[in-house]
Amino acid sequence: MATKVRSEAPDGGWGWMIVLAAFIQSALVFGVLRSFGVFFVAFVEHFSETASSVSWITSMAVAVQQFCSPVASALSTYFGARSVVMLGSVISSLGLALASLATSLLHLYLSIGLLSGFGWALVFTPSVAAVSRYFSRRRTLAMGLAFTGVGISSFVFSPLFQYLLDEYTWRGALLIIAAMMLNLLACGALIRPLTLKEDLVAGPELEVAAGSRCPASCRLLLNLLDLPLLRHLPFLTFVLVITLINAGYFVPYFHLVAHARSIGFDQYQAAFLMSATAIADLAGRLVSGWFADRRRLRLVHVLALWTSLTGLSLVLIPFGRHYAVLMLVGVAYGFFSGALTPVVFSLLPEIVGIGRIYGALGLLQMLESVGGLLGAPISGWLRDATGNYTASFVVAGGFLLVASLVLFGLPSALPCVSGGGRTLTPAPALEDEYQPVATGNGPAVARPTPGQPGNAATINGQDV
């Protein structure tokens, strides 16, 4: 039976349903993580634990979500994104349901931190990769629309969770949120299998050879995790850029309210500052998608623009001593930081090729987590050492300004490279490695060796 292979991404059609699925998953995954602070006081009081101990619940969940992304990528390559997202929905829901039965903080670490965190990894990585595969020309706009779910849910979930906490206590609230997570099953079901021309392996030189240096099982693992990307210089350069961005990107979420309070503004003014920043973040994601897809600039230059402006706005935050000025700088930060997010995930397929998006996205998520884990502690240490937040914001902005310069180490950023920012030099494959034929959102199967019968693949109706 022939497998229909598309020569290019649909760039619409059912792809908009994939965007809807990604919108819902981003709202449920990161909206819950951003709003989980509502349970903070309840956990501290119920378990009689320190604030730092309780903080490890969400920190562990985020870390597991990022570090387990390569596992999600490997499973998606082999079994397809649909099955993996649906499995992630069940696991994340199970973790939250078990958390409602917790009798100690350790139980919350294991249920929410490990189990739900792993489930969220299985949901997020395949969903984002699916959007990348369904879109090419309008990919950044599609990404921007998908990630608006984070901003919208952040507004809705915080008061909703507080209401659930007041009405049903934290145990009942966690059970209800666990039920909400099962909506991700529908998101997974929306992801239709899609096979692109780039998924097919060209050339017999990549077949399993007799006397190969690496066992077949080892080569299969290398391909599923796409570890050869770790020697692909453009990909490693991009990983460095995103790691530097992460080191400074999240600092305002930890310290902007505290900074506003420390210079004399009351708690309501500080809270409204964060709300205005979140609204600007939402607008930035949409404007960025529209602007990038007009292709007036190369995508790498668009990312460099938003990154440098985000870094500059971070550097300017300590100089906003008047509320109007601080509000203006905060809104600028929200807009620019929101604008760079969809561009990051749109540029990655152009660096490694759409056929390797699952492995690349998994490795990127795992490696970039170093920046996110170090950024907040460095910022806090600078606050303790200097007695104010000036150095914290300046250093955070410096990380992003350096990242914008490192971006010009990518081949497509150079004027002499043509192609308008399209796919760069393909990542190298290991010699004699086993290469499955990825079906995009279905099981990967080995390409038959020459002379052996096998299923034909068709591109636009023609056998290949």
DSSP state at residue 423:
-
Q: What is the mean pLDDT of residues 158-171?
A: 89
Q: What is the mean pLDDT of residues 241-251?
A: 89
Asked whether the predicted pLDDT for residue 210 surpasses 80, the reply is no
**Short-list 340, 283, 362, 299, CA closest to 137:** 299
Kindly state the percentage of the chain with pLDDT values over 70. Answer: 84
Q: What is the mean pLDDT of residues 312-335?
A: 92
Mean pLDDT score of the chain:
81
Band of pLDDT at residue 49, cut at 50, 70 and 90? confident
Helices H / strands E in the chain, number of each = 17, 5
Q: How many alpha carbons lie under 13 Å from residue 21 in its C-beta half-sphere?
A: 31
Asked whether the beta carbons of 295 and 422 are under 8 A apart, the reply is no
Band of pLDDT at residue 447, cut at 50, 70 and 90? very low
DSSP secondary structure, 245-257, as one string: HHHHHTHHHHHHH
Band of pLDDT at residue 458, cut at 50, 70 and 90? very low
Buried b (16+ CB within 10 A) or exposed e, 438-464: bbbbbebeebeeeeeeeeebebeeeee
Distance CA 211, CA 30 (A): 47
Q: Hey, which of 64-68, 90-94, 438-442 has the most confident mean pLDDT?
A: 90-94
- What is the predicted pLDDT for the residue at 116? 95
Asked whether the predicted pLDDT for residue 387 surpasses 90, the reply is no
Q: pLDDT per residue over 325-372, tens digit each?
A: 999 999 999 999 999 989 998 899 889 888 888 888 889 988 888 887
- What is the predicted pLDDT for the residue at 150? 84
Q: What is the mean pLDDT of residues 20-32?
A: 91
Distance CA 303, CA 325 (A): 26
Distance CA 375, CA 53 (A): 19
Asked whether the predicted pLDDT for residue 443 surpasses 70, the reply is no
Distance CA 425, CA 422 (A): 10
- What is the predicted pLDDT for the residue at 415? 65
- What is the predicted pLDDT for the residue at 245? 93
Q: What is the mean pLDDT of residues 79-106?
A: 94
Asked whether the beta carbons of 143 and 346 are under 8 A apart, the reply is yes
Kindly state the percentage of the chain with pLDDT values over 90. Answer: 36
Ramachandran class of 369: left when φ > 0, alpha when ψ lies in -120 to 50, beta otherwise: alpha
Q: What is the mean pLDDT of residues 207-225?
A: 65
Q: What are residue 455's phi and psi, to 5 degrees?
A: -70, 135
Q: What is the mean pLDDT of residues 443-459?
A: 39
- What is the predicted pLDDT for the residue at 214? 66
Distance CA 295, CA 350 (A): 14
**Short-list 189, 29, 190, CA closest to 125:** 29
Distance CA 210, CA 197 (A): 28
Q: pLDDT per residue over 33-44, tens digit each?
A: 877 877 877 888
Band of pLDDT at residue 309, cut at 50, 70 and 90? very high
DSSP state at residue 417:
-
Tokens matching residue 145 = 């629309």
> Does residue 11 or residue 404 have the better pLDDT?
404
Tokens matching residue 288 = 């960025």
Asked whether the predicted pLDDT for residue 1 surpasses 70, the reply is no
Tokens matching residue 74 = 């490997």
Q: What is the mean pLDDT of residues 384-390?
A: 86
Distance CA 149, CA 169 (A): 26
Asked whether the predicted pLDDT for residue 441 surpasses 50, the reply is no
Band of pLDDT at residue 464, cut at 50, 70 and 90? very low
Stretch among 216-220, 369-373, 397-401 having the lowest mean pLDDT: 216-220
Q: What are residue 300's phi and psi, to 5 degrees?
A: -65, -35
**C-alpha distances out from residue 315 to 9, 99, 311, 394, 396, Å:** 40, 40, 6, 4, 8
Stretch among 1-10, 67-76, 128-137, 380-389 having the lowest mean pLDDT: 1-10
Asked whether the predicted pLDDT for residue 454 surpasses 50, the reply is no
Q: pLDDT per residue over 264-275, tens digit each?
A: 888 778 878 878
| Biggest CA pair distance of the chain | 78
Asked whether the beta carbons of 395 and 251 are under 8 A apart, the reply is no
Band of pLDDT at residue 382, cut at 50, 70 and 90? confident
**C-alpha distances out from residue 126 to 100, 179, 191, Å:** 28, 21, 9
Q: What is the mean pLDDT of residues 10-26?
A: 91
**Short-list 207, 228, 178, 218, CA closest to 363:** 228
Distance CA 214, CA 378 (A): 42
Element (H, E) at 458: strand 457-459
Q: What is the mean pLDDT of residues 434-452?
A: 40
User: What's the first-to-final CA gap in the chain, in angstroms?
Assistant: 13
Q: pLDDT per residue over 229-245, tens digit each?
A: 888 899 999 999 999 99
Q: What is the mean pLDDT of residues 29-53?
A: 82
The angle, 0 to 180 degrees and rounded to 10, between the axes of the packed helices 323-352 and 251-262 is 170
- What is the predicted pLDDT for the residue at 213? 64
Tokens matching residue 413 = 């950023």
Asked whether the predicted pLDDT for residue 203 surpasses 50, the reply is no
Asked whether the beta carbons of 34 and 150 are under 8 A apart, the reply is yes
Identify the burial level of 174 via C-beta atoms within 10 angstroms of its C-beta, where 0-12 means exposed, 13-18 middle and 19 or more buried: buried
- What is the predicted pLDDT for the residue at 455? 40
> Does residue 227 or residue 422 have the better pLDDT?
227
Prediction pTM value: 0.76
Asked whether the predicted pLDDT for residue 103 surpasses 60, the reply is yes
